[in-house]
Amino acid sequence: MADEAPFQFLHSEVIEYIYKSADSGEVENGRNITKLENMGLRVGQGLIERLTKDTARFKDELDIMKFICKDFWTCVFKKQIDNLRTNHQGIYVLQDNKFRLLSHLSAGKQYLEHAPKYLAFTCGLVRGALSNLGVKSIVTAEVSVMPACKFQVMIQKS
Amino acid sequence: MADEAPFQFLHSEVIEYIYKSADSGEVENGRNITKLENMGLRVGQGLIERLTKDTARFKDELDIMKFICKDFWTCVFKKQIDNLRTNHQGIYVLQDNKFRLLSHLSAGKQYLEHAPKYLAFTCGLVRGALSNLGVKSIVTAEVSVMPACKFQVMIQKS
């Protein structure tokens, strides 16, 4: 039994709940995505606070990103990010070849359009975690072949 | 880092979200409790299905209850139920001396009134798990001293 199952099932129910209680349509879909993203944001903030309680200070931004890819990802998804790339100018791409919150969807192309609602929470999760570590960012996600998934993090210099 | 943290934080956010998006008042509070209970129901159904995939058939009702107290509880809350009692006439009392979804609340009496909303999801969870195993039940919860908690399961004979 996978340890992350209770979290996965609850995550699916939350999406179901939010989409069922709202009207359909483009505008509403956008609002629902925002709701999920905000929920992820707060969960990410809470989690990272607990996770870094006894951690040494991070050296730099890359050090923080590595922590997100390893410790943070493992805590939530019971696996690490498979690949981390950066242009060394504030853009990071985190690739998960078997993203857990997509793995229950069929890999068929016809489900690709549903992917965004399964990614919004996690985009918020990453943004929330980073924000609590003092890093402001914009996080987006894209899927080309399910259940592989890329999260792009754009650091916002202030 | 406790493994159940992502689930806990998400659970808290769900309560927050449901209560924030509804009006306040007695009636609304009842509706929110029902929403949480229904969400738990579906999560419980999904989880038990996955958990019992490779399990031998259960001998009887008590055997099922023991599975809920051990395997199922451990899967969700990373601990077992501390005490299981029954009157052998269809009533079971499951006691958790340190219920995880209450442990972030202060133990003070003033928070006791908030306990129901932190228990509704789990009541549904147990009811959903049992229903998928063919056992119809009514599940209620009570707290006397936080974070200890008792779940009462009344089996509905058909």
Nearest to B1 among A13, A21, A50 (CB): A50
Q: Mention the CATH class of domain B4-155.
A: alpha beta
Side-chain half-sphere of A39: how many Cα atoms within 13 Å?
Answer: 31
Please answer yes or no on whether A1 and B39 come within 8 Å at the CB atom: no
pLDDT tens digits, one per residue of B96-146 = 999 999 887 777 777 788 889 999 999 999 999 999 999 999 999 999 788
Residues B6, A47: Cα–Cα separation, whole Å: 7
* Residues in chain B within 8 Å Cβ distance of A76: 6
Q: What is the pLDDT of residue A1?
A: 54
Q: Is the ipTM of this complex over 0.90?
A: no
CB B148 within 8 A of CB B96: yes
Identify whether the C-beta of residue B58 lies closer than 8 Å to the C-beta of residue B132: no
Q: Residues B97, B82: contact at Cβ < 8 Å?
A: yes
Interface of A with B (CB under 8 A): 1, 3-7, 9-14, 16-17, 21, 35, 39, 42-43, 46-47, 50-51, 71, 75-76
pLDDT at position A135, please?
96
- Asked if B6 and A43 come within 8 Å (Cβ–Cβ), the reply is yes
Which SS3 state, helix, strand or coil, does residue B150 take? strand
pLDDT, residue A28, reads 84
pLDDT tens track for B7-49: 999 999 999 999 888 777 778 888 999 999 999 999 999 999 9
Q: How close is the nearest chain A Cα to the Cα of B45, in Å?
A: 10
Q: Which residues of chain A have pLDDT under 50?
A: none
Show the tokens assigned to A95.
Answer: 């690739």
Sort out which chain B residues have CB atoms less than 8 A from A21's CB and list them: 21
Instruction: Provide the mean pLDDT of chain B.
Output: 91
Q: For residues A26 and A24, what is the distance between their CA atoms, to the nearest angstrom?
A: 7
How far is residue A33's CA from residue A121's CA, in Å, rounded to a whole number?
8
